[in-house]
């Protein structure tokens, strides 16, 4: 099956404009709420430990989807928020929900996206976006665009696996390595500050190995129920080695 990002995400969000539509398809809305709580936990930790104050800042949420992070940055006192999304449905719904902010329909991997913006930001938020860019040229262009949109000393938050090797996981997911990111960042005037683990038990089926032997197809249903437990366990065990996704914190040099 050939992957066409705009068509793929337009269909997903048109069918289900909720966290489950934007998040992990294998799990329900309840589980995805816990996934997003885990994203917020890591992001708040990054903001706190790096002493980054959002109050009065200009924020660009790339892949704004259902507006989850628009709400997050609004509550922290961002002065200005701009959302970019590849889907028409996201942009139209968020324009209606947040008339005080600007929303732009576009692809962060496009050479023309920065000309649509004509401005720079203190904070760029890019959760669950870059690993859905399958081609390497598109990934490199996305990093260039992110750098172009960032103010000097602006902060960039990206979620990806960030391991030793690139991993082509599925027709619509390619995780990129630390080496790949560092090379792309270096060429675009960005630098990695640090990383924060996002999930270990969350974001994957935990009960599947046992339940699939006993009750075919029931593993995800059980994991949906156990999401709060996985969230709590992750708060204890997450580390540089124990994670299945990371929050990368970078800065415009």
Please provide the DSSP assignment of 104-170 as one string: EE--TTSTTHHHHH---EEEEEETT-GGG--SHHHHHHHHHHHHHHEEEEEEEEEEE---SS-EEEE
pLDDT in tens, 208-253: 655 555 555 556 788 999 999 999 999 999 999 999 999 999 999 8
* Phi, psi of 234, rounded to the nearest 5 degrees: -60, -35
For residue 207, the model assigns a pLDDT of 78
Per-residue model confidence (pLDDT) at position 208:
61
- pLDDT, one tens digit per residue, over 130-171 is 999 999 999 999 999 999 999 999 999 999 999 999 999 999
Which among 124, 90, 120 is positioned nearest to 105, based on CA atoms?
90
Contacts of 118 (CB under 8 A, 6+ apart): none
pLDDT of residue 2: 84
Give pLDDT tens digits for 23-36.
999 999 999 999 99
Confidence band for 11, pLDDT divided at 50, 70 and 90: very high
- pLDDT band for position 118 (cuts 50, 70, 90): confident
**Mean per-residue pLDDT, 64-69:** 98
**Nearest to 82, CA basis, from 39, 126, 112:** 126
Q: Domain extents for the chain?
A: 5-252
Question: Looking at the domain 5-252, which fold is it?
Answer: Rossmann fold (3.40.50)
Give this prediction's pTM.
Answer: 0.95
């Amino acid at each position: 099956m050939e992957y066409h990002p705009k068509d793929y995400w337009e269909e997903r969000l048109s069918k289900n404009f909720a966290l489950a539509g934007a998040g992990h398809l294998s799990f329900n809305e309840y589980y995805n709420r816990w996934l997003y709580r885990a994203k917020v936990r890591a992001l708040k930790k990054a903001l706190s430990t790096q002493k980054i104050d959002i109050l009065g800042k200009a924020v660009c949420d790339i892949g704004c989807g259902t507006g989850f992070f628009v709400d997050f940055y609004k509550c922290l006192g961002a002065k200005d928020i701009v959302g970019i999304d590849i889907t028409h449905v996201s942009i139209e719904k968020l324009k209606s929900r947040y008339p005080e902010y600007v929303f732009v329909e576009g692809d962060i991997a496009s050479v023309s996206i920065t000309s649509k913006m004509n401005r720079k930001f203190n904070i760029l938020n890019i959760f669950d976006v870059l690993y859905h860019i399958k081609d390497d040229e598109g990934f490199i262009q996305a990093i260039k665009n992110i750098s172009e949109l960032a103010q000097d000393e602006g902060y960039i938050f990206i979620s990806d696996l960030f391991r030793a090797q690139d991993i082509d996981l599925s027709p619509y997911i390619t995780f990129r390595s630390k080496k790949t990111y560092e090379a792309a960042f270096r060429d675009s005037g960005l630098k990695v500050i640090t990383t924060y683990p996002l999930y270990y038990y969350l974001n994957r089926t935990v009960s599947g190995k046992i339940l699939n032997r006993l009750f075919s197809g029931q593993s995800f249903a059980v994991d949906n129920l156990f999401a709060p437990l996985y969230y709590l366990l992750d708060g204890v065990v997450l580390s540089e080695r124990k994670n299945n996704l990371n929050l990368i914190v970078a800065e415009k040099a």
